[in-house]
Amino acid sequence: SLVDRIPEYQLVVVGAGPERSRLDRFVTNRQITNVTFVGHKENPEQYYNFFDAFLLTSKIEGTPLTIVEAMMCGIPVFTMPAGEIEYNYSEVEGVTILTGSAEEDASKIKGFDYSRFDKNNMINFSKNMHGIEGVKKRFFDALSCSGLPESPQNDDSFLLPGVYV
């Protein structure tokens, strides 16, 4: 497993889902000592700044907010290419797309060069793509391309929450 190949890394699992008991058994049965489960947290985003990196091993995702949250905190992301993740983030500096091969993925994690990583680039990308100003601009740009009126030009404009189709 990947965890067996990176024993020098302390892995912290925030959250509790249907796989929690299976993961507990896996860690216990294999006597893995570098994994800590902290369980469900009301505000998991408060944990990102404690970590050196974020690891998402999900095989099924859409575009998870956890990646956006980690990027907003400026920490490197290691993720499987599930859902829209690879399409949206494969070109982003600091996002490493994993393969599912424990050996290859351990090599990618161990080989990440933190000294060359510029967290401000990642934070700026996140703000531009997912911050309100970037979302508002893309939304109104899309509207103007569809023949609808352009973005309001005053500072009092805002987007209402909801789904726009």
Mean pLDDT of 141-157: 60
Asked whether residue 162 carries a pLDDT value surpassing 60, the answer given is: no
Q: Cβ neighbours of residue 161 under 8 Å, at least 6 residues apart?
A: none
Cα 69–45–161 angle (5° rounding)? 65
pLDDT of residue 116: 95
CA-to-CA separations, 40 to 77, 149, 153, in angstroms, rounded? 21, 44, 42
pLDDT digits (tens, 9 = 90+) for 22-41: 999 999 999 999 999 999 99
User: Does 158 score more than 70 pLDDT?
Assistant: no
At 154, is the pLDDT very low, low, confident or very high (cuts 50, 70, 90)?
A: low
Tokens of 159: 């987007």
Confidence band of 163 (pLDDT split at 50, 70, 90):
low
> Picking from 70-74, 113-117, 134-138, which range would have the lowest pLDDT averaged per residue?
134-138
β strands within 75-158, DSSP E: 77-79, 95-97
The pLDDT of residue 135 is 75
What's the rounded Cα separation, in Å, for the pair 131 and 20?
32
Per-residue confidence (pLDDT) for residue 52, from 0 to 100: 95
Lowest mean pLDDT among 3-7, 21-25, 143-147, 151-155: 151-155
Query: What mean pLDDT is reported for the chain?
Result: 86
CA dihedral of residues 40, 13, 94, 141 (deg, nearest 10): -20
What is the pLDDT at residue 156?
60
Instruction: Answer with the residue of higher pLDDT: 44 or 156.
Output: 44
Within 8 A by CB and 6+ apart from 39, the residues are 14, 15, 16
Per-residue pLDDT at 30: 94
